[in-house]
A and B are shown apart, each in its own frame.
Chain A
Amino acid sequence: MNSLSPLKEQISLKEPIIISNLMLFPVVSKTPLKELEFNTLKQGMADGSVSVSDPGNNYRWIRVENSHQDKDLFIIDGEGIYGGKQNRIAASSLVIEPNKSKSIPVFCSEKGRWSGSSRFSSSDTIAYPTIRKINTKNKAFPTGTRSSQRTIWGEISRKSRTLKTYSPTGSMQSIYEEKQDELEKFIEYEPIENQIGFLAATQKRLLCVDIFYNMDLFLKFYEKLLLSYAIDGLEDFESGVGSFHSKMWQTFFNAIFTATLIKHVKTYNEFRYKMKQGFGKALFIKKQLIHASFFHNNPEI
Protein backbone atom coordinates (compact mmCIF):
# COMPACT_ATOMS: atom_id res chain seq x y z
CA MET A 1 0.00 0.00 0.00
CA ASN A 2 2.67 2.48 0.96
CA SER A 3 5.15 1.58 -1.74
CA LEU A 4 5.15 3.66 -4.88
CA SER A 5 6.76 0.97 -7.04
CA PRO A 6 3.44 -0.62 -8.24
CA LEU A 7 2.54 2.76 -9.77
CA LYS A 8 5.37 2.40 -12.25
CA GLU A 9 3.19 0.18 -14.44
CA GLN A 10 0.18 2.50 -14.14
CA ILE A 11 1.52 5.96 -14.89
CA SER A 12 3.95 7.51 -17.32
CA LEU A 13 5.40 10.81 -18.43
CA LYS A 14 4.54 12.34 -21.82
CA GLU A 15 6.46 14.77 -24.01
CA PRO A 16 6.76 18.24 -22.47
CA ILE A 17 4.80 21.36 -23.32
CA ILE A 18 6.56 24.71 -23.01
CA ILE A 19 4.89 27.94 -21.90
CA SER A 20 7.42 30.76 -21.55
CA ASN A 21 10.06 29.41 -19.19
CA LEU A 22 7.90 26.61 -17.79
CA MET A 23 8.36 23.08 -19.04
CA LEU A 24 5.35 20.91 -18.23
CA PHE A 25 5.49 17.15 -18.63
CA PRO A 26 1.98 15.64 -18.43
CA VAL A 27 1.71 12.60 -16.13
CA VAL A 28 -0.87 10.18 -17.56
CA SER A 29 -2.60 7.11 -16.19
CA LYS A 30 -2.93 3.90 -18.20
CA THR A 31 -5.91 2.72 -16.15
CA PRO A 32 -8.38 5.51 -15.31
CA LEU A 33 -9.79 5.18 -11.77
CA LYS A 34 -13.41 6.11 -10.99
CA GLU A 35 -14.25 4.57 -7.62
CA LEU A 36 -13.62 7.66 -5.43
CA GLU A 37 -15.10 11.14 -5.84
CA PHE A 38 -13.99 14.26 -4.04
CA ASN A 39 -15.30 17.69 -3.27
CA THR A 40 -12.82 20.58 -2.97
CA LEU A 41 -12.50 23.44 -0.51
CA LYS A 42 -13.39 25.91 -3.25
CA GLN A 43 -16.53 24.00 -4.26
CA GLY A 44 -17.56 23.33 -0.67
CA MET A 45 -17.02 26.89 0.55
CA ALA A 46 -19.00 28.18 -2.44
CA ASP A 47 -22.00 25.87 -2.01
CA GLY A 48 -21.95 25.99 1.79
CA SER A 49 -21.18 22.30 2.34
CA VAL A 50 -17.78 23.14 3.85
CA SER A 51 -17.07 25.62 6.61
CA VAL A 52 -13.62 26.57 7.81
CA SER A 53 -13.04 28.37 11.08
CA ASP A 54 -10.15 29.82 13.02
CA PRO A 55 -10.08 28.55 16.61
CA GLY A 56 -8.17 31.73 17.38
CA ASN A 57 -5.81 30.26 19.96
CA ASN A 58 -3.24 28.55 17.77
CA TYR A 59 -2.27 29.72 14.30
CA ARG A 60 -0.99 26.26 13.39
CA TRP A 61 -4.43 24.65 13.27
CA ILE A 62 -7.79 25.46 11.71
CA ARG A 63 -11.09 23.59 11.93
CA VAL A 64 -12.68 22.24 8.73
CA GLU A 65 -16.20 20.84 8.70
CA ASN A 66 -17.37 18.78 5.74
CA SER A 67 -21.16 18.71 5.99
CA HIS A 68 -21.61 17.17 2.53
CA GLN A 69 -23.83 14.08 2.73
CA ASP A 70 -21.77 11.68 0.66
CA LYS A 71 -18.62 13.27 -0.76
CA ASP A 72 -15.16 13.24 0.77
CA LEU A 73 -13.43 16.61 0.94
CA PHE A 74 -9.92 16.70 -0.51
CA ILE A 75 -7.52 19.46 0.55
CA ILE A 76 -4.25 19.72 -1.35
CA ASP A 77 -0.87 20.36 0.23
CA GLY A 78 -0.16 24.10 0.03
CA GLU A 79 -3.79 25.06 -0.65
CA GLY A 80 -4.40 28.70 0.30
CA ILE A 81 -7.24 29.32 2.73
CA TYR A 82 -8.13 33.00 2.95
CA GLY A 83 -9.90 35.02 5.60
CA GLY A 84 -9.95 34.12 9.29
CA LYS A 85 -7.58 36.00 11.53
CA GLN A 86 -4.80 35.51 9.00
CA ASN A 87 -4.45 33.63 5.69
CA ARG A 88 -3.17 30.06 5.95
CA ILE A 89 -1.87 27.30 3.70
CA ALA A 90 -2.59 23.61 4.25
CA ALA A 91 0.47 21.79 5.57
CA SER A 92 -0.48 18.51 3.93
CA SER A 93 -2.82 16.87 1.44
CA LEU A 94 -5.66 15.26 3.35
CA VAL A 95 -9.21 13.97 3.11
CA ILE A 96 -12.16 14.71 5.41
CA GLU A 97 -15.01 12.22 5.24
CA PRO A 98 -18.66 13.29 4.71
CA ASN A 99 -20.35 14.71 7.83
CA LYS A 100 -17.05 14.93 9.70
CA SER A 101 -14.97 17.80 10.98
CA LYS A 102 -11.25 17.87 11.62
CA SER A 103 -8.54 20.17 12.89
CA ILE A 104 -5.98 20.42 10.13
CA PRO A 105 -2.35 21.53 10.33
CA VAL A 106 -1.60 24.78 8.52
CA PHE A 107 1.09 27.38 8.08
CA CYS A 108 0.45 31.09 8.24
CA SER A 109 0.93 32.86 4.90
CA GLU A 110 0.22 36.40 6.14
CA LYS A 111 2.66 37.42 8.83
CA GLY A 112 1.32 40.91 9.52
CA ARG A 113 -2.33 40.27 10.36
CA TRP A 114 -4.10 38.80 13.40
CA SER A 115 -7.54 40.33 13.14
CA GLY A 116 -10.85 39.85 11.41
CA SER A 117 -13.51 37.17 11.39
CA SER A 118 -13.01 33.64 12.69
CA ARG A 119 -14.43 32.34 9.38
CA PHE A 120 -12.45 31.66 6.23
CA SER A 121 -14.08 32.70 3.00
CA SER A 122 -12.18 31.46 -0.05
CA SER A 123 -9.52 29.26 -1.50
CA ASP A 124 -8.19 30.35 -4.87
CA THR A 125 -4.51 29.56 -4.96
CA ILE A 126 -1.95 26.90 -4.11
CA ALA A 127 1.39 27.89 -2.58
CA TYR A 128 4.21 27.97 -5.12
CA PRO A 129 6.54 24.91 -5.15
CA THR A 130 9.37 26.60 -3.18
CA ILE A 131 7.01 26.92 -0.20
CA ARG A 132 5.60 23.42 -0.61
CA LYS A 133 9.17 22.13 -0.67
CA ILE A 134 9.98 23.88 2.62
CA ASN A 135 6.76 22.49 4.03
CA THR A 136 7.62 18.95 2.91
CA LYS A 137 11.02 19.26 4.56
CA ASN A 138 9.35 20.00 7.91
CA LYS A 139 10.25 16.91 9.92
CA ALA A 140 7.99 17.82 12.83
CA PHE A 141 4.77 17.40 10.80
CA PRO A 142 1.90 17.54 11.70
CA THR A 143 2.71 19.96 14.52
CA GLY A 144 5.11 22.25 12.65
CA THR A 145 7.77 24.29 14.38
CA ARG A 146 8.36 27.98 14.94
CA SER A 147 11.47 27.62 12.84
CA SER A 148 9.60 26.14 9.83
CA GLN A 149 6.96 28.89 10.13
CA ARG A 150 9.68 31.55 10.19
CA THR A 151 11.26 29.96 7.11
CA ILE A 152 7.93 30.21 5.26
CA TRP A 153 7.40 33.86 6.27
CA GLY A 154 10.95 34.59 5.17
CA GLU A 155 10.37 32.88 1.82
CA ILE A 156 7.15 34.84 1.15
CA SER A 157 8.95 38.07 1.99
CA ARG A 158 11.91 37.15 -0.25
CA LYS A 159 9.65 36.20 -3.17
CA SER A 160 7.65 39.39 -2.82
CA ARG A 161 10.85 41.46 -2.86
CA THR A 162 12.28 39.62 -5.88
CA LEU A 163 9.07 39.93 -7.89
CA LYS A 164 8.62 43.54 -6.75
CA THR A 165 5.19 43.06 -5.18
CA TYR A 166 3.91 44.61 -1.97
CA SER A 167 1.48 43.61 0.74
CA PRO A 168 1.02 45.61 3.96
CA THR A 169 0.36 42.34 5.81
CA GLY A 170 3.03 40.23 4.08
CA SER A 171 0.39 38.08 2.39
CA MET A 172 1.38 35.38 -0.13
CA GLN A 173 -1.95 35.91 -1.89
CA SER A 174 -0.98 39.45 -2.89
CA ILE A 175 1.96 38.12 -4.96
CA TYR A 176 -0.55 36.20 -7.10
CA GLU A 177 -2.88 39.18 -7.32
CA GLU A 178 -0.20 41.65 -8.36
CA LYS A 179 1.25 39.26 -10.93
CA GLN A 180 -2.14 38.32 -12.37
CA ASP A 181 -1.49 39.80 -15.84
CA GLU A 182 1.79 37.93 -16.22
CA LEU A 183 0.23 34.68 -15.00
CA GLU A 184 -2.69 34.73 -17.43
CA LYS A 185 -0.86 33.06 -20.32
CA PHE A 186 -0.13 29.92 -18.28
CA ILE A 187 -3.84 29.09 -18.20
CA GLU A 188 -3.58 28.41 -21.96
CA TYR A 189 -2.44 24.90 -21.08
CA GLU A 190 -4.86 22.20 -22.23
CA PRO A 191 -4.79 18.89 -20.32
CA ILE A 192 -4.33 15.77 -22.45
CA GLU A 193 -6.32 12.52 -22.30
CA ASN A 194 -5.99 10.62 -19.01
CA GLN A 195 -3.74 13.28 -17.51
CA ILE A 196 -3.45 12.99 -13.74
CA GLY A 197 -0.54 15.27 -12.98
CA PHE A 198 2.48 17.32 -13.94
CA LEU A 199 6.21 17.28 -13.70
CA ALA A 200 6.95 21.01 -13.74
CA ALA A 201 10.38 22.52 -14.38
CA THR A 202 11.87 25.84 -15.38
CA GLN A 203 15.04 26.39 -17.37
CA LYS A 204 16.95 26.28 -14.09
CA ARG A 205 15.43 23.66 -11.86
CA LEU A 206 12.79 21.04 -11.31
CA LEU A 207 9.91 22.64 -9.41
CA CYS A 208 7.89 19.59 -8.43
CA VAL A 209 5.94 16.53 -9.47
CA ASP A 210 2.23 16.36 -8.66
CA ILE A 211 0.29 13.14 -9.19
CA PHE A 212 -3.45 12.76 -8.49
CA TYR A 213 -5.83 9.85 -8.04
CA ASN A 214 -7.58 10.41 -11.37
CA MET A 215 -8.17 12.97 -14.09
CA ASP A 216 -11.32 14.37 -12.43
CA LEU A 217 -9.37 15.31 -9.33
CA PHE A 218 -6.47 16.66 -11.39
CA LEU A 219 -8.83 18.89 -13.40
CA LYS A 220 -10.09 20.49 -10.19
CA PHE A 221 -6.59 21.71 -9.35
CA TYR A 222 -4.55 22.01 -12.52
CA GLU A 223 -5.15 25.73 -13.17
CA LYS A 224 -4.22 26.66 -9.61
CA LEU A 225 -1.13 24.46 -9.87
CA LEU A 226 -0.09 26.13 -13.14
CA LEU A 227 -0.28 29.55 -11.49
CA SER A 228 1.76 28.32 -8.55
CA TYR A 229 4.45 26.88 -10.85
CA ALA A 230 4.42 30.16 -12.81
CA ILE A 231 5.18 32.21 -9.68
CA ASP A 232 8.44 30.28 -9.25
CA GLY A 233 8.94 30.45 -13.02
CA LEU A 234 8.74 34.24 -13.06
CA GLU A 235 11.48 34.47 -10.48
CA ASP A 236 13.73 31.97 -12.25
CA PHE A 237 13.48 34.00 -15.44
CA GLU A 238 14.28 37.24 -13.62
CA SER A 239 17.53 35.68 -12.43
CA GLY A 240 18.76 34.86 -15.95
CA VAL A 241 18.26 32.66 -18.99
CA GLY A 242 18.97 28.92 -18.88
CA SER A 243 17.99 26.01 -21.07
CA PHE A 244 15.30 23.32 -21.00
CA HIS A 245 16.25 19.80 -19.90
CA SER A 246 14.23 16.72 -20.73
CA LYS A 247 16.14 13.54 -20.02
CA MET A 248 17.29 14.68 -16.57
CA TRP A 249 13.73 15.23 -15.42
CA GLN A 250 12.53 11.96 -16.90
CA THR A 251 15.21 10.21 -14.84
CA PHE A 252 13.97 12.02 -11.73
CA PHE A 253 10.40 10.91 -12.46
CA ASN A 254 11.47 7.25 -12.76
CA ALA A 255 13.35 7.52 -9.45
CA ILE A 256 10.08 8.29 -7.62
CA PHE A 257 9.07 4.64 -7.98
CA THR A 258 12.19 3.54 -6.12
CA ALA A 259 11.73 6.01 -3.22
CA THR A 260 12.15 4.68 0.31
CA LEU A 261 9.43 5.21 2.91
CA ILE A 262 10.86 7.20 5.84
CA LYS A 263 7.80 8.27 7.86
CA HIS A 264 4.08 7.57 8.23
CA VAL A 265 1.77 10.07 9.95
CA LYS A 266 -1.21 7.84 10.63
CA THR A 267 -3.73 10.58 11.54
CA TYR A 268 -3.46 12.10 8.07
CA ASN A 269 -2.54 8.96 6.08
CA GLU A 270 0.56 10.81 4.99
CA PHE A 271 3.62 8.84 3.85
CA ARG A 272 6.97 10.53 3.42
CA TYR A 273 9.67 9.29 1.07
CA LYS A 274 13.20 9.98 0.02
CA MET A 275 15.44 8.93 -2.80
CA LYS A 276 18.91 9.92 -3.97
CA GLN A 277 17.70 12.86 -6.07
CA GLY A 278 14.91 14.18 -3.87
CA PHE A 279 12.05 13.62 -1.47
CA GLY A 280 8.28 13.74 -1.35
CA LYS A 281 5.05 12.70 0.28
CA ALA A 282 1.89 10.85 -0.62
CA LEU A 283 -1.65 10.56 0.68
CA PHE A 284 -3.27 7.13 0.45
CA ILE A 285 -6.96 6.45 1.10
CA LYS A 286 -8.46 2.96 0.81
CA LYS A 287 -5.12 1.72 -0.53
CA GLN A 288 -5.34 4.18 -3.41
CA LEU A 289 -2.92 7.03 -4.07
CA ILE A 290 -4.90 10.27 -3.86
CA HIS A 291 -2.09 12.78 -4.22
CA ALA A 292 1.70 12.69 -4.26
CA SER A 293 4.20 15.50 -4.56
CA PHE A 294 7.96 15.20 -5.05
CA PHE A 295 10.77 17.74 -5.02
CA HIS A 296 14.39 17.77 -6.17
CA ASN A 297 17.20 17.99 -3.61
CA ASN A 298 18.96 20.80 -5.41
CA PRO A 299 17.51 24.28 -5.45
CA GLU A 300 19.06 24.94 -8.85
CA ILE A 301 20.68 22.81 -11.51
Chain B
Amino acid sequence: MITQELGKFKIIGYLGGGRFGDVYLAHDTLIDSDVALKVARSHITNHSSFLHEIKILFSLDHPNILRYFSAESIEGKLVLVTEYITGHTLRNFIERNCPTNAKLQKT
Protein backbone atom coordinates (compact mmCIF):
# COMPACT_ATOMS: atom_id res chain seq x y z
CA MET B 1 0.00 0.00 0.00
CA ILE B 2 1.77 3.13 -1.25
CA THR B 3 0.95 6.63 -2.41
CA GLN B 4 1.45 7.59 -6.05
CA GLU B 5 4.14 10.10 -5.02
CA LEU B 6 6.61 8.01 -3.03
CA GLY B 7 9.41 10.31 -1.96
CA LYS B 8 11.15 11.49 -5.13
CA PHE B 9 9.48 8.71 -7.16
CA LYS B 10 6.22 8.90 -9.07
CA ILE B 11 4.56 5.50 -9.47
CA ILE B 12 3.66 4.89 -13.12
CA GLY B 13 2.55 1.26 -13.21
CA TYR B 14 2.54 -2.13 -11.56
CA LEU B 15 5.00 -4.68 -12.93
CA GLY B 16 4.41 -7.70 -10.73
CA GLY B 17 4.61 -9.04 -7.25
CA GLY B 18 5.79 -11.83 -5.06
CA ARG B 19 5.51 -13.00 -1.52
CA PHE B 20 7.72 -10.26 -0.08
CA GLY B 21 6.79 -7.27 -2.16
CA ASP B 22 5.36 -5.60 -5.22
CA VAL B 23 7.40 -4.22 -8.11
CA TYR B 24 6.41 -0.92 -9.72
CA LEU B 25 7.60 1.10 -12.67
CA ALA B 26 8.41 4.55 -11.28
CA HIS B 27 9.86 7.80 -12.45
CA ASP B 28 12.75 9.26 -10.47
CA THR B 29 11.84 12.95 -10.60
CA LEU B 30 15.30 14.04 -9.44
CA ILE B 31 17.33 12.46 -12.23
CA ASP B 32 14.42 12.27 -14.72
CA SER B 33 14.58 8.56 -15.49
CA ASP B 34 12.48 5.46 -15.09
CA VAL B 35 13.43 2.85 -12.49
CA ALA B 36 11.93 -0.28 -10.99
CA LEU B 37 10.92 -0.16 -7.31
CA LYS B 38 10.46 -3.27 -5.25
CA VAL B 39 8.43 -2.29 -2.19
CA ALA B 40 8.43 -4.68 0.78
CA ARG B 41 5.01 -5.71 2.03
CA SER B 42 3.99 -3.91 5.18
CA HIS B 43 2.77 -6.98 7.04
CA ILE B 44 6.22 -8.56 6.81
CA THR B 45 8.08 -7.32 9.86
CA ASN B 46 11.16 -9.46 9.36
CA HIS B 47 12.92 -8.06 6.31
CA SER B 48 15.94 -10.36 6.49
CA SER B 49 15.08 -12.19 3.23
CA PHE B 50 14.46 -8.91 1.45
CA LEU B 51 17.73 -7.45 2.76
CA HIS B 52 19.56 -10.63 1.78
CA GLU B 53 18.28 -10.21 -1.80
CA ILE B 54 19.48 -6.59 -1.79
CA LYS B 55 22.96 -7.60 -0.58
CA ILE B 56 23.27 -10.26 -3.28
CA LEU B 57 22.16 -7.85 -5.99
CA PHE B 58 24.63 -5.24 -4.67
CA SER B 59 27.49 -7.71 -5.06
CA LEU B 60 26.65 -8.64 -8.67
CA ASP B 61 27.78 -6.90 -11.82
CA HIS B 62 26.80 -8.53 -15.11
CA PRO B 63 25.22 -7.25 -18.34
CA ASN B 64 22.41 -9.85 -18.03
CA ILE B 65 21.50 -8.91 -14.47
CA LEU B 66 19.60 -5.74 -13.73
CA ARG B 67 21.62 -3.03 -12.06
CA TYR B 68 21.20 -2.21 -8.39
CA PHE B 69 20.79 1.51 -7.69
CA SER B 70 19.93 1.83 -4.01
CA ALA B 71 17.97 0.55 -1.03
CA GLU B 72 15.91 3.15 0.79
CA SER B 73 13.41 3.57 3.55
CA ILE B 74 10.62 5.80 2.23
CA GLU B 75 7.54 6.64 4.32
CA GLY B 76 8.29 3.63 6.49
CA LYS B 77 8.59 1.26 3.50
CA LEU B 78 11.71 -0.66 2.60
CA VAL B 79 12.32 0.00 -1.11
CA LEU B 80 14.82 -1.56 -3.50
CA VAL B 81 15.60 0.65 -6.50
CA THR B 82 16.92 -1.06 -9.64
CA GLU B 83 17.30 -0.54 -13.33
CA TYR B 84 14.01 -0.82 -15.28
CA ILE B 85 14.08 -3.32 -18.13
CA THR B 86 11.27 -3.65 -20.66
CA GLY B 87 10.05 -7.00 -21.95
CA HIS B 88 8.06 -9.95 -20.66
CA THR B 89 8.26 -12.02 -17.52
CA LEU B 90 9.56 -15.58 -17.63
CA ARG B 91 6.05 -16.75 -16.73
CA ASN B 92 4.54 -14.91 -19.73
CA PHE B 93 7.24 -16.31 -21.99
CA ILE B 94 6.63 -19.88 -20.86
CA GLU B 95 2.86 -19.50 -21.15
CA ARG B 96 3.15 -18.18 -24.71
CA ASN B 97 5.94 -20.39 -25.97
CA CYS B 98 5.66 -23.51 -23.86
CA PRO B 99 5.93 -26.55 -26.13
CA THR B 100 2.85 -28.78 -26.15
CA ASN B 101 3.10 -32.53 -25.65
CA ALA B 102 2.50 -33.00 -29.38
CA LYS B 103 5.41 -30.71 -30.24
CA LEU B 104 7.67 -32.44 -27.74
CA GLN B 105 6.85 -35.84 -29.21
CA LYS B 106 7.78 -34.61 -32.69
CA THR B 107 11.16 -33.39 -31.49
Contact = CB atoms under 8 A, between A and B. Distances in A.
Contact of B17 (A20, A190, A244): A20
Contacts of B5: 15
B43 to A, nearest CB: 6
Nearest to A241: B13
B12 interface: yes
A242 B13 contact: yes
Interface string A171-213: 0000000000000010011100000000000010000000000
A20 B11 CA distance: 11
B9 to A, nearest CB: 12
A187 to B, nearest CB: 9
A18 interface: yes
Interface in B1-49: 1-5, 11-15, 17, 22, 24-25, 41-43
Contacts of B17: 20, 185
A242 B25 CA distance: 10
Given A185-B41, A188-B42, A20 B3 contact: no
B93 to A, nearest CB: 14
Classify chain B's interface size. Answer: 10 to 19
A200 to B, nearest CB: 14
B4 A15 contact: yes
Contacts of A185: 17, 22, 41, 43
Nearest to A21: B14
A203 B14 contact: yes
Given A185-B41, A188-B42, A188-B43, A18 B1 contact: yes
Name, among A18, A185, A188, A203, the residue most crowded by chain B CB atoms within 10 Å (CB to CB): A18
A142 interface: no
Interface of A: 15-21, 23, 185, 188-190, 203, 237, 241-244, 246
27 contacts: A15-B3, A16-B3, A16-B4, A18-B4, A18-B24, A19-B22, A20-B17, A20-B22, A21-B14, A23-B4, A185-B17, A185-B22, A185-B43, A188-B41, A188-B42, A189-B1, A190-B1, A203-B14, A241-B13, A241-B14, A241-B25, A242-B13, A243-B12, A244-B4, A244-B11, A244-B13, A246-B4
Interface of B: 1-5, 11-15, 17, 22, 24-25, 41-43
